[in-house]
Each structure stands twice: as C-alpha cells, then as structure tokens.
C-alpha cells in the first residue's frame, strides 16, 4: 500500500460571490511543506487559476517544484477559470458554482486547455494530475482530460452523492458516487485512457464495510429514512470515514481507515484537504490559531503512523506511472 497526499490549492474566499479572490492562504503552505519534508512526503498541490495568477504565491509553489519536494497538478474551479460567459453560472465567481460535469463539452475543453497552459507557463511543467472543483466529475470530463494529455484524476468520492447540491440553476447538480469503487480504475476511450485514483473514503464499521448492497442502500437513503437516521445517530455517526484531517477526525479513526484499507487490499490511500485549512480563519474547519496547531499535531501523528505501518508516499503522477491494473 502507498500513500498519496493531495492538496486542493485555491483561493481564500471561494463563496464570496462576485468578488476577486484572494490567495493569502498560500503563504501558510511553507510550514506544511516543511512538515512533509521531515517525513519525506511529496505532496501533490492541485492548483487553481487564481493561484497561478498571483506571482507571490506561485513563486512559493515553484520553489517546491524546483527542489523536487512536490508535484504541481491541476484543480479546475470552473467559476474562476476562463473563458466566462455573460449568463448565470458562467460568469467569474458567479453565485452558481457550476460543476464541471454540467458544462457543455466545448466550454469544458476550453477551460481545461486554458488552465493547463497557465500552469505550463507559470511553473514550466505540463501537469498530468487533476481534481475537479466540488468533485464534479464523470466520464465526459475524463475524456476531455485524456484528450488534453492528462494521466490521472482524483475527483471521485466513493459512497458520497453530490446530486442534491446545485450547480447551474437548472442543471443536474453534482455527481452521484455512492456506487463508485474505492480502488483505482481506468476510463478507457478509443485510443487513450486515464487513471482514476479515488479519494479514500471507506465504511469501516460492520456490516457497512462487508456488504456493498447494504452500504449502498444505507448511504443512499440515510437522510430520508427515520430508521436509518436513528442508526446513524447511535451506530454509524461518522460513517463513511474520509482520509481527511478535519476536526472530527483523530488518530484512532485514521487507524480504522488503514485497517479497513488493508483488509480490502486497497493499493493506495489518497488523502485530501484544502490549502485554506492551513490558514487560521480561512476555512470553516480551522477558525483559530489553536485549531491550526491541532491540525499539525494530527498530521504529525498520522505521518508517524504511516512510518510504523511501512506505507510509503508517492505523488499522484508517480503512482499513476507505476500502477498496473
């Protein structure tokens, strides 16, 4: 089993509609990178257009790239990536944060081409790894990525359904990943393919972790069935578990994920969180200096656990280049 650390590297105020986005949180990444260096972990920073636009913050990330201590990949926020149109859902930082899977293919292709070229220009490398903003992903997005030379995506969130979260005002909403596999797999097209490394999200409690049909039924209906709500309250409150260092997580829950991943022979653990979570008050998850210290303590505990379990790190692209189905 290998470990992949991915950071959605983006602006501070994503939901401050109609305003230019700031990127102050990127200035808090060097402390995090120092921790990664200590444990010889190379994070994959998946960057948005607004991060590329700022020379100060892009210089910070370029230094990590030049020292070969990190990978730079692509994070598409359709609401901050040109081109834009003068209609709802297509304007810059519009109040409707459209999912990539809702976009017409020609507009999606233009946005991915623009952001890819932007990263090439700013960082001097062709990005090969990708994550879609708000996890907006489907086979059509995979095809456009493959057409643009990408090797690997990590947008899929197994056991999670985003379809009730609106994007375009009359759109289909986010994707439904409840039945998606936690294992890597390929989207195959006529003459090319792209790997999918899902974010690690697992049911770790019996019987949800043993029976796919049962867990699918539970996670699809838990918000609408009273009996399932009661089960969630008393038995499955934190299920499924994300490999993500948010305030509800602790080292024992991370151990649960690793134990379950080993049981099912998962070849990769994929952790994610947002760069904004490294800056006090920039994220709803980390509002104070104290909460930032709690984050670093949790990360250090987890990185120590990886060493004990002999789980070696890779970047997204390194994993994709060595992975064999």
The per-residue pLDDT for range 3-15, each reduced to its tens digit, is 999 999 999 977 7
Phi (first) and psi of residue 319, to 5 degrees: -65, -40
Q: Average pLDDT, stretch 28-39?
A: 98
The per-residue pLDDT for range 198-252, each reduced to its tens digit, is 999 999 999 999 999 999 999 999 888 888 778 787 778 889 999 999 999 999 9
The pLDDT confidence band at residue 162, using thresholds 50, 70 and 90, is very high
Q: Which tokens go with 121?
A: 């220009």
* 203/239 Cα distance (integer angstroms): 6
Contact 317, 151 (CB under 8 A): yes
Phi (first) and psi of residue 316, to 5 degrees: -60, -45
Which pLDDT belongs to residue 170? 85
Distances 61 to 7, 30, 43, 77, 252 between C-alpha atoms, Å: 12, 9, 11, 18, 32
The per-residue pLDDT for range 51-74, each reduced to its tens digit, is 999 999 899 999 999 999 999 999
CATH of the structural domain 2-203+243-253+266-322, one choice from 3.20.20.370, 3.40.50.720, 3.50.50.60, 3.30.420.40: 3.20.20.370
Least confident of 55-69, 98-112, 166-180, 225-239: 225-239
Q: Return all residues near 234 (Cβ < 8 A) that are at least 6 apart.
A: none
Q: Return all residues near 251 (Cβ < 8 A) that are at least 6 apart.
A: 298, 301, 302, 305
Extents of the domains making up the chain: 2-203+243-253+266-322
């Amino acid at each position: 089993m290998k470990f992949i650390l991915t950071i959605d590297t983006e602006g501070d105020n994503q939901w401050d509609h109609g305003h230019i986005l700031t990127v102050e949180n990127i200035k808090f990444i060097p402390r995090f990178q120092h921790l990664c260096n200590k444990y010889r972990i190379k994070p994959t920073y998946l960057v948005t257009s607004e991060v590329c636009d700022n020379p100060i913050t892009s210089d910070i990330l370029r230094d990590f790239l030049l020292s070969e201590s990190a990978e730079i990949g692509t994070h598409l926020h359709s609401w901050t990536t040109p081109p834009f149109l003068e209609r709802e859902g297509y304007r810059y930082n519009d109040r409707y944060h459209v999912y990539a899977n809702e976009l017409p293919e020609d507009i999606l292709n233009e946005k991915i081409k623009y952001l890819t070229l932007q990263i090439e220009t700013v960082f001097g490398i062709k990005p090969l790894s990708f994550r879609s903003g708000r996890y907006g992903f489907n086979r059509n997005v995979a095809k456009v990525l493959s057409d643009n030379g990408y090797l690997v995506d990590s947008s899929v969130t197994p056991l999670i359904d985003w379809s009730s979260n609106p994007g375009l005002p009359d759109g289909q909403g986010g994707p439904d990943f409840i039945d998606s596999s936690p294992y890597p797999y390929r989207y195959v097209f006529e003459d090319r393919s792209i790997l999918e490394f899902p974010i690690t999200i697992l049911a770790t409690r019996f019987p949800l972790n043993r029976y796919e049909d049962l867990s699918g039924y539970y996670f699809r209906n838990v918000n609408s069935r009273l009996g399932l709500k009661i089960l969630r309250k008393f038995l499955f409150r934190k299920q499924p578990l994300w490999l993500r260092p948010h305030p509800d997580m602790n080292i024992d829950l991370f151990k649960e994920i690793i134990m379950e991943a080993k049981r099912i022979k998962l070849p990769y653990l994929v952790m994610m969180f947002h760069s904004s979570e490294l800056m006090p008050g920039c994220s709803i998850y980390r509002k104070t200096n104290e909460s930032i210290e709690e984050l670093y303590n949790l990360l250090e505990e987890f990185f120590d656990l990886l060493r004990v379990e002999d789980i070696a790190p890779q970047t997204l692209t390194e994993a994709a280049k060595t992975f064999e189905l």
